[in-house]
Structure 1
Amino acid sequence: MKPTRLTQIILVIIGLVGLAILAYFYWQGDDKEDTGNDTKEKHETVEHSQYSGVDIITDTLEEETFYKAIHYPKFKEQSLNDAIGKYVSEIEQSFQEELDKQDIESLQEHPAQLYVTFDIYPVTDEVYSIVFEEEGYFGGANPRLHNKVFIVDLETNRLIKQTEIIQNTKENKEELHNLLFNGFKDSEQYSPFLNEDYLKAWIQQENNEFSNMYLTNQSVVFAFDKYEVTAGAAGMPEIELPFEQVREILSDEWLERLNEQDKTDSDESTEPNSEKNEEKSKEEPKNDVSENKKRVALTFDDGPHPTNTTKILELLKEYDAKATFFMLGNRVDFYPTIAKEVAENGHEIGNHTWSHKDLTTLDSETIKQEIDDTSEIIFEATGQKPTVLRPPYGATNKQVEAATDLPLTLWTIDTLDWKSHDPEAILKEVKENVQDGSIILMHDIHETTVEAVEPVLTYLAENDYEFVTVSELS
């Protein structure tokens, strides 16, 4: 029987109502799913750096079975951020896939860890090399290491391909092979571990885009992954080729650009601090400490931070308090003026390694590099050398101790500011645990820690504590 017009209208109405009901439950389901995903404790901060046009995003997440800390740059141009963001997402996805394969009990005993850090190398006023280093740890096994390079031109707002700098021709590859081979052979650190066949296979790849190559303002650098061209004992080797060695294989455009930069740099001093600064720092008197008062050492890890550290310095000044700041080398590189301000205010500066890796998982050479590079950049920024070392996570062993002459300093009170992000909870930890000679651990990278500093200072001052550096406690 042919349906009447009224029947057709009724069927249409019923259909629309049904679609509305389905849509309602669909969106309700999405809301529930989103709520479930938001239960993880995730912290993300965005900070300005000393490099023009470059901000820094820090993304941390801590769970019972894993911890990850990812640092990456943010630019004004969204297309550059999209490229970096895609790379970061791929790392996180790969980490999660590997995490899903692991035994849950093993992860509870040895939580997985993911660290992504980066260094910035200015090439010209508008060109930066961004060099990422990824480290993944699963169940106490050897770390998985990988480098990733981006060369960014902020003038044209695009990523520069390495093959624009050195074109992939037979002649260029032959010359580059000779330069890299000689670079490895001349290196006391890497020469014993070079696999010549691996190096030859790498250079002869048909579509080799030299994606592990980056520029500084003085050289071309090739950063290889662990095992890529050397034995594992070499770690992640880097071979630096000064511009004068590679001029014949550079493209005309980059030969001209780097020639201009080379002329500019040759007119500038490479010594940011004189020996007089070092001598002056040695002669500065230490904070007078009363023998009768109780003493406590406030310590701040993982900085410097461009705003939080400055706020803490103002609070410490109000209470005539001295503290110890355990700084990361890569943070000092981003914020040298803040590090200098800490030193100028009479506080002690400690070494917290370059990139906050668990030193007990590294070989001796890498441990030494993490510490020495940090000491060097602290001196460049402040004119002072660090006086103490705090290994990340408090993780140390005989190999770590043998890698440095700096005294290792841990803590007696962990305020758990990194976990609670609650000023009242931070103060509570201090109140319940402080005693004469306590070393209090906080982190000047958290805004909530800044909020806790004044009540902590007030409580300790009211209870007759004198604020000293960790070296003054010993």
Structure 2
Amino acid sequence: MFKRRLLIGTLLMSVLSMTACGGAETSGPHGAEEAKSMLTTGKYEKKKEHEETSAEQSVSGAEDMNIISYTEENDKKVVAMYYPEFQQQNIDEQLDEFKTSKLNIFNELIKSEDVSKDFAPQLNMTFDANLLAENIYALQFVIDTYISEDTVFKETEIVMINTGTDSLLTEESLFSKNLNSREHLYNTLLGTMKTDLSIAPYLNEEKLRSWVLDEANNFSNVRFTDNIMEFTFEQGEIAADAAGKPAIEIPLTELLAAMPDAITQLIDGEYIEPSEDMPEEAAAEEEQKPAVYEIRELDKNLKMAALTFDDGPDNILTPRVLSLLKAHDARATFFLLGTKVNLFPATVEQTIDAGHEVGNHTWSHKDLTTISFNEITEEIVRTNEIIAETANIQPVIYRAPFGANTDAVDQYVPMTEVNWDIDTEDWLTHDPVQINQMIKNNISDGDIVLMHDVHDMTVESLDEMLQYLTDEGYELVTVSEILYYKNEVRAE
């Protein structure tokens, strides 16, 4: 069995800066005349990559790339378009269609616009090819359209391709659209900007969040340099005008969690190459890093409650709880003891597979206020490790045994602490009637409820409780979800 970590590299293609207008600052007849001496009318010119690019392009896979230039020049328009060719039928056909679509848009535009007879409209398309991983390219096209001396349209579009499968990742944008990915992108950008003294005093966090969460955002302000992503914003876009045009650089590795799985699995993971002694399906599987619970997209205006269960898992009672939750289409959070995870790993996997969240309840249920720093660390770390090993999930929340905690303890535990709003006292009464009455008397929107999935009577009370909460209009969610939607806190 042979394992190989995929390279993270960047291939910046030094495409000739042959613009139809002689440069971004040049327009009008002078630009058109300059273009006449540079362009060949109405034909393709293939230029081998080594003639156009720097020594950086010795990265694996780059030797198969050519640069195609499509040019037109006449009294009515000047066109210079550059795009890559990979000697792969499907990719090359689709990239040619991409070029043609942009050319058709330009032709339609100059028909509809009031074009001066003294100015030939110009279309210029260049690109950077960024090798994100073996066979995975982010092609960043920059399209400049000059309709007149005063009318300029600028567009940036990123196309992801996989030369290993001769395909475009047509469903993938540079950054994934799911909530967790966009939140990761926002937090990464925010953290970097807060450390930049030229941006931090002027930063508008709400504008930044809106920019990140905008589904129509095509991230045209992103540039690649080696393994760095550069973000450049317009004046006033995410900060006060005094900040000018904010620009930051972030290592690609810090942004992988915000990118689509189809890309990150190829960039960041390990893969097993096929060999004669192993099935092809197994060879394609990648080793997975522990994931974190993925918050669902919910209406924050819904009434919500989070049911939590401590001290498990139990190999008999926890599956019964899971069955009841499923019957009522409810999610919950289970705070696990490391010792029991070690005993009942299959139950933990069953809990995760059912869509519930798990948190850390320490290894052996010790009162954290009575033990040393080293013991606290061991209680938390051992539990996180056994959960990750068992279910490939990384808890981001914890609950101290007995709810016993202090600020001194908090500084040793780099996780979000979670207590409760309602204690059902199931551990005290062992009475389904009293447990349910505690809920009916006290429940309100945004509450976190404490229970234990190690008591028979708790399980006996659950069906009635779930039905009552559903009838009252509550969406039963996880702790991370209720923190996010009701308290605007991101557990981490």
**TM bin (shorter chain):** 0.3 to 0.5
TM-score by length of 1: 0.41
TM-score by length of 2: 0.39
